Structure formats: C-alpha cells, structure tokens
Structure 1
Amino acid sequence: MGWNFTGALMAIWAMSVMYIGVAMMTTEMASIIEEPGGQYAMAKSILGPLAAFNVWLISVFEYTMLEAADAVVGGDIVSSPNPELSPMPFIILTLLLLTLINYRGIYGTLTLNFFITAAAFASVMFLLGSTDFFDPSRSLIKLGELTDGLPYGLLGVFAAMQFGIWFFLGIEGTAMASSECRKVERALPVGTMIGLLTLLFGAMATWFVCSGLVEAHKLGGSVYPLYDAAVATGKPLVIAVLFAGTVLACLASANGCISDASHAWSALAKDTIMPAYFAAEHPRFGSYYRSIVFLLPISLMFAFTGMLDQIITFSIFSALLVYIITAVMMIRFRKMYPLGTIKRAYISPLHPVPALVTIALASCALFGMFLTYGVNMLSGTLFYALASLWFIKRRRSRLDPGIFVTPSLKKWGKPRA
C-alpha cells in the first residue's frame, strides 16, 4: 500500500513538514546546550535521567540499524549484476572502511560526506534528465500508464509515510555536531535547512522518475528503486552512473550514522551512566574512537542478518519515538525557560505549532507502520520498556548529579516551571 506515485508524493511532503519542525526544535535547543549527544544532551537537562537514557538508547539503535541497512542495500546493488556474488564482502569492507574514516576525525568524515552526497545527488539529476521528461513526445516517463492515483485511498498515504521517512532519516543528527560548530547559531539552522531542501528535491525527483519508469508492484518490492529505474531506461551510461550513485548514497548515509551513533554513545559515558572508558577522545584525531570501534560489531551483527525490511523498520520506529520525545521536550523547554529568560542563538518560530505538527505526523506514520509491522513495533516497545527497568534498577543510582544536571543549572539558572 502506498507505493504509487500520488501516495508516495503526499507522504514525502507530509514527512518533510515533520522534519522541518524537528529541525527547528532541535536547532533551538542544540544552539543553547552546545554539547555532543544531540537529543540526549537536551533530554537530560529538560526531561531527566530516565527520558535521557531512552533517547540515548533509541538514537543509538536508530543510527546503528540505519548504518547496517545502508550497507545491506549497497551490497545488494553491487551483487545485482551477478546474483551468484555474495554481498557480504562488500558489506564488511564498507563498514570497516567507514569506521576507519570516522576514527580519524569528524572533519574528514563530514568532508567525505559532502563530496559523495553531491555525487549521489548529481546522479539522480542525471537520471531525471536522461528521461527527456520535459519533452512529451520523447519522454520515457509513463505516469499515466504505470500509476493509478490513490488505489488505496488515504490508507495508502498512511502506509507510505514510513517509506517517506527513509529519504530524510538521520538528518536530525546534525544536532550531534553542535559542539564542533564555530558559530552554532548560523551553522545549525542553515546547514539543516539546506540539507532538508536538498533531500526534499531529490525525493520528489526520485519518485517522479521511479513511478514513471517502473511498474508499481515491482517498485514496491525494490531494494534499490533508482537503480531499477535506470535499468528501465535501457541506456548503459545511465545504468552505470546510477549504479555508482546509489552506492555512494548508501555510503554517505552510513558514514553519517557512524558519527551520530558514536557521539550519542560517548555522551552517555561522559555523564557516568555508561563506563567513562567510552568517553575518551583520540589524542591525535579528536574522535570518540572507543565508541566508534565498540559500535562496529553491533552494526555488523544487524547487517549479517540481511533482513533489510526488519532492520529499517526498527530504525524508522526508533526515529519516530525520538521525534515525539523531541516535541515534548520543546514544549517543556519553553515552559521552563520562556523567551527572554536565557539567551538563545536561534528561536524556533510559531511555537508550539512545530511541536504539535510533529507529534501529529509522527503518530500518523506510526499508524501506517502498524498496518504492516505491528508485531515489530510491539516488540520494539517491549525492548525499550525492559531497558528502562534495567536503567532504574541498575544504573540510575550511579549517576553523578554534579556531572549530569549541575552544569545546565549553572548556565541557565533555575527554571520557571
């Protein structure tokens, strides 16, 4: 359901609105906190230890499983010309190489991501131009023949929302790098919004081309729709460019996820909830190298399953939980510290509209996901509930308030509410 042009396009626009709201909220809070850890650093000062632990755990699984899913997709693409080839060597080498790049520091990681993301985006534009969509007499796009409006109605739009998230998943991780920014008030909002606009334009172009070149049922089961669309053109150069472009897109996404997950993991170690061993920075590269290396076997374990739909479903489910918690944090943050009480480098406009819209759209996406992956969602909820009980029983008593809460109180002062 939902894997048709109209339903997917509506879902993409709805999810882009949600991500704009998430970006505005995280930018305001991250510009004040300026700590590595992203939403976790926000939650510990605004919602308390239990919420912070859950945000940390959910974020780590979101990024780690997305990283594994990207590697699996890349492996499937590389092995697609010859089904007898195993994707596992590529998956292993990809994760090892990206781990090494992150090990050598955040600057190299983000620089590499910029160039490979630009190359991947250029390949999508190349595919779009190769279809001659601007000339009806020569266009390869056949939306009228391959699509049928909304065959499942509004239910199809709800079902497509979880797949619309795939285009933007992880962009909120820009808040993880707030401590590395020279001017947080400029870098975070500008970088996040440019990234969102780029992803939105690329997402619309992707579904316009894919829905116009690939039959709906085949598209619904495709692991790499852009590459399938390139094959449908029958042009060898286009196929080769999209082969490389799709692999690069997977590498860029996985590379960023390793950085985000390691920042989240090390942030918890700095606050004494996890062993301080993981908070160490590399003496030369300045990376959280122990966290980066520690998370590698976890991502490899998920990738070895090869169960792409299960991996990405858990990642998306985790992301939606983080977005809802982020919206709750924003509402509480404004009550604790109204405008004018503390200096803000960036102010999210139209509060509380972004928070309420985010909660509503995330809930709609969870409903659509429940239609096909209800058991997975219940299992994920149970896992996080058991993890919360473990934290209350075993780790909460080890918190050092002087490290966990006091710095924020000294910086912001006593909250109003």
Structure 2
Amino acid sequence: MGSATGLKKELGALHLWGIAVGLVISGEYFGWNYGWKEAGTIGFLWATLLVTLMYATFIFSFTELTTAIPQAGGPFAYSRRAFGPFGGLVAGYATLVEFVFAPPAIAAALGAYVHFMFPDISVLTVGIAAYVVFVGLNIVGVKQAALFELIVTVLAVVELLVFMGVVAPGFSVSNFVANNEEFGIAGILAAIPFAIWFYLAIEGVAMAAEEAKEPKKSIPIAYITGILTLVVLAIGVMVLTGGVGDWRNFSGVDYPLPEAMATVVGKDSGWTHMLVSIGLFGIIASFHGIILGYSRQIFALARAGYLPPVLATIHPKFGTPHWALVAGAVVGIIALISGKTAELITLAAFGALVLYIISMAALFKLRATEPAMERPFKAPLYPAFPAIALVLSVFFLVVMTWFNPGTALIFALMFAPAYGYFLLTAKNRAELDIAIPPSLDVAPAEGLLARGDTDI
C-alpha cells in the first residue's frame, strides 16, 4: 500500500509561487462578478478593498505559522498544536469544505468557458472530464503537478495582463459608476463572499509545505509575492471590466471576461478567441492547484486518525496520496452536478473564514504558550496584523451567516458526521504513534509536531 507518513520534498520557491497564485487565479476570471448583483460596481469595490485588507494582513500572519510548522495539514496542524484534538478537527473540517467545494464551482466555470465557444459541448461533460484528467495528473507526482501548475499560472497571469491592455481603451468611468443608485451598505455586506473569491485558497500553499525544499525561505517568498500579484490582478480586472459597457450584462455569467472583451472588440475577434483559449489556463490552474491542496488536507487528517486511514495511503510508485485525490473528486463531481455555482462559492467562503479565524487564534495562542518555538518568519506589526485579520474574518463570517442562512445551516450540518467520526475514533487516535516523516524540516524539540502531531 505504500508509506502512510512521508511526502517527497521537491518544491522550490517558484513552484510555491505558482501554487499560491494558481490556486486563486480563476477567481479573477469568474465568480467575483456575482458580487455586482448584490452591491453594484461601487459597492463591490468597497467590499473588495475590505477583503483585500483582510487577506493582506492574514497572509503576512499565516506565513509565520506555515514556516514554523511546515506540515501537509496546514491549518489543521497549527490549530491542533494550539487547541488540541478538537481544534484540529474544526480547522481540518473548515479547510476541507473550502478546498473540496471550490473545485466544482471552478469546474462549472471551465465548462462554461468551453461552452461559450463550442455550444454543442455541455458544461457538465467538461467539468467531469477535468476532474478525471487533473486527478490523474496529481497522482503521477507532485513535482510534475507543480511544474504544470507553474506553467499554466504564468500563462494565466500574462493573459489577464493582455485582457487589461485590450479593454483599457474601452474603459469609461461613467460606465463603471452607472446604475448604482439602488445599492447601499447592505449590498456591500452581501457581496463579501464574492470578494473573498478573488483570493480564496491562497493559504493552500501550506498544504504543500511538507514538500518544500527550504520551507523557511521559499514559503515567505511565495506568499508575499503571491498576494501582491493577486491584488494587482484583482483590482485591475474588476475595475476595467466594470467600465467597458453595461456591467449588468456581465454580473450573472460564468465568463464575464470574454463578454467584456467581446463588448470592446467583438465576439469574433481574435483577441476574444485568445482570451477564451488561453484564459482556460487560469481556471485550470486553480482547479488543478486546489485538487493538490484538498488531497494533502485529506491525507493529513487521515494520517492523524480524523478520517479513515486508507485515505492516508501513499502510492508506492508515485509517492502521492492517490485515494485522497479520488475521494475529493467523488464529492466534487456530486457537487458539480448540482449546478449551484454561486452557492458553492459561498459554501467554500464559509470554510475559508472559519479556518482564517482559528488560524489567527492559533497564532496568538502559540505566541503565548510556545514563545521559544523557532519562527523563521514573524508576522510584521504583531499583534496588529493578525488582530485585523481575525476581527475582519469574524465580521465577515457573521455577515455571511446573516445574508446566507441556508448555506450557513448546510455548513453547520455537514460538521455533524465529521464530529461523529471524531468521537467514534478517539481511542484509535490515542493509540497512534506516527513517526515524524523524515522529510519534515522541524526541530525535534517542538513538542507535538516532533511526535507526528498525534493526540496526547
């Protein structure tokens, strides 16, 4: 069956930057535009600036945890170390919801982009095919998967820059500010989950930390350059798209960028065809990268006894968690068939906010309880940065629950089977004595982590 504890250490800073940006970059291609329905262009701009502040402070703080505890479990490992087994369960569950339910929304957009140019090909067919292809690629090996991620991410970034350059001559401030009279503060708050979509999943680099060659150096580089890249792209794409025509025509589709470009240069233009064809790489980059992320989270939870142990099995030839990859795909395809893109985005955002909250709380707790822990990167302006990220995350979670009570209830109810399994397997977890993977670059004096992060 292969080892159930160790992952290969093969990723450099450039690979990790590709994962950081690639995980998110589909958020610049679609999904965010649903926020215009709630807040208009001006209100959504305010929502985006608030969310950008949260993510900027969060990433600079989260990097401290990722470099200090470079494990595949990411937030699960940090919260478990800070708050014990139940803290690990909450963080692990939230991360799974984010990373398992974001891919079907992205797969739907991938299908919509293809359907935009080839109407005879159904959205669902493309989405399911994407799962089959990219789960297979991830099984073959992390180095190959990360190299592919880097290539498609670079292409996607270049394409977004080309998009901005082509549509900029058609931008008009009057178009951007038009038809905003009916929106107010409530609209800004309701648009929060779609602003989160601009950055959602950047923290997934943490799930690849155990496979980084020099995590203490490469992870900070990847995170900081990654968030800066995404801020420029998010603001640029949103503002320019909103000013090239009647933005209401772009607010309810899964392919707003091709529609915006077609408004400027025509649907049959070579520029529009290029955007659709190359733009697919942006969606593919996120889809592929989040698949890598969810598989490592499932692997880490199973390795620690929070999920069935078979999901921690590593392929004997390729050294990847193949059953974790397949399990996440099965759930994702079922969600894809539902056809609820906006709802899936909101559900993923619920998971993201919960993991941000517990991660920032873990940072504060570990600063207090383990001051001697080696921290290769420390959150700047501590405690201001993690406090801003924590307060905004809590605020956004309350707002989203108020505006999306049905989705919030689904998020809460899905926790029940996870908690049930947690209770039923408590004895098994207590008996685990997982040896720390030899590839893990962590000082042996680091308490729980040195023991493989098992329950004690």
Where in structure 1 are there 5+ consecutive unaligned residues? 134-138
| Aligned counterparts of 1:182 and 1:213: Cα–Cα separation in 2 | 45
Query: Does the Cα contact within 8 Å between 1:32 and 1:344 map onto a contact in 2?
Result: yes
Query: Does the Cα contact within 8 Å between 1:3 and 1:216 map onto a contact in 2?
Result: no
Evaluate the alpha carbon distance shift between residue 275 and residue 162 of structure 1 in structure 2; reply closer, same or farther with a 3 A threshold. Answer: closer
Deviates more, 1:52-61 or 1:75-84: 75-84
| Aligned counterparts of 1:27 and 1:353: Cα–Cα separation in 2 | 15
> How far did 1:88 drift?
1.8
Match of 2:81 among 45, 48, 65: 45
Q: Which amino acid aligns with 1:120?
A: A
Q: Which amino acid aligns with 2:219?
A: L
Q: Secondary structure at the match of 1:48?
A: helix
> How far did 1:285 drift?
2.0
The aligned counterpart of 1:208 is 239
The aligned counterpart of 1:183 is 214
Within 5 Å, which residues of 2 pair with 1:179-258?
179-235=210-266, 236-258=269-291
- Are 1:326 and 2:359 matched, yes or no? yes
Match of 1:398 among 400, 421, 428: 428
> How far did 1:278 drift?
2.0
The aligned counterpart of 1:58 is 94
Within 5 Å, which residues of 2 pair with 1:16-415?
16-81=52-117, 83-131=119-167, 133=168, 139-148=169-178, 151=181, 152-235=183-266, 236-338=269-371, 341-370=372-401, 372-384=403-415, 386-387=416-417, 389-400=419-430, 403=433, 411-413=445-447
Q: Deviations over 1:32-77 (max 9, x none)?
A: 2222111111122111111211211221121111111111111011
TM-score by length of 2: 0.83
Evaluate the alpha carbon distance shift between residue 214 and residue 343 of structure 1 in structure 2; reply closer, same or farther with a 3 A threshold. Answer: same
Q: Secondary structure at the match of 1:403?
A: coil
> How far did 1:396 drift?
2.1
| Aligned counterparts of 1:318 and 1:413: Cα–Cα separation in 2 | 28
The aligned counterpart of 1:136 is none
> How far did 1:283 drift?
2.5
Where in structure 2 are there 5+ consecutive unaligned residues? 1-36, 450-456
Deviates more, 1:315-324 or 1:273-282: 273-282
Q: Which amino acid aligns with 2:94?
A: I
Q: Which amino acid aligns with 2:445?
A: K
| Aligned counterparts of 1:81 and 1:202: Cα–Cα separation in 2 | 24
| Aligned counterparts of 1:261 and 1:414: Cα–Cα separation in 2 | 23
Please tell me the root mean square deviation across aligned C-alpha atoms, in Å.
Answer: 2.5
Query: Does the Cα contact within 8 Å between 2:81 and 2:448 map onto a contact in 1?
Result: no
Evaluate the alpha carbon distance shift between residue 413 and residue 295 of structure 1 in structure 2; reply closer, same or farther with a 3 A threshold. Answer: closer
| Aligned counterparts of 2:151 and 2:45: Cα–Cα separation in 1 | 27
Query: Does the Cα contact within 8 Å between 1:184 and 1:345 map onto a contact in 2?
Result: no
Q: Which amino acid aligns with 2:124?
A: M
| Aligned counterparts of 1:144 and 1:241: Cα–Cα separation in 2 | 28
Query: Does the Cα contact within 8 Å between 1:227 and 1:239 map onto a contact in 2?
Result: yes
| Aligned counterparts of 1:373 and 1:398: Cα–Cα separation in 2 | 37
| Aligned counterparts of 1:70 and 1:389: Cα–Cα separation in 2 | 28
Q: Which amino acid aligns with 1:279?
A: A
Q: Report how many aligned residue pairs link the two structures.
A: 406
Q: Deviations over 1:184-225 (max 9, x none)?
A: 121111101111111111111111221012423223212221
Deviates more, 1:102-111 or 1:371-380: 371-380
Query: Does the Cα contact within 8 Å between 2:175 and 2:247 map onto a contact in 1?
Result: no
Evaluate the alpha carbon distance shift between residue 282 and residue 393 of structure 1 in structure 2; reply closer, same or farther with a 3 A threshold. Answer: closer
> How far did 1:146 drift?
4.2
Query: Does the Cα contact within 8 Å between 2:353 and 2:397 map onto a contact in 1?
Result: yes
Query: Does the Cα contact within 8 Å between 2:176 and 2:239 map onto a contact in 1?
Result: no
Q: Which amino acid aligns with 2:344?
A: I
Q: Deviations over 1:261-294 (max 9, x none)?
A: 1101111121123333222222332211121122
Runs of 4+ in 1 over 4 A off after TM superposition: 404-410
Evaluate the alpha carbon distance shift between residue 272 and residue 369 of structure 1 in structure 2; reply closer, same or farther with a 3 A threshold. Answer: closer
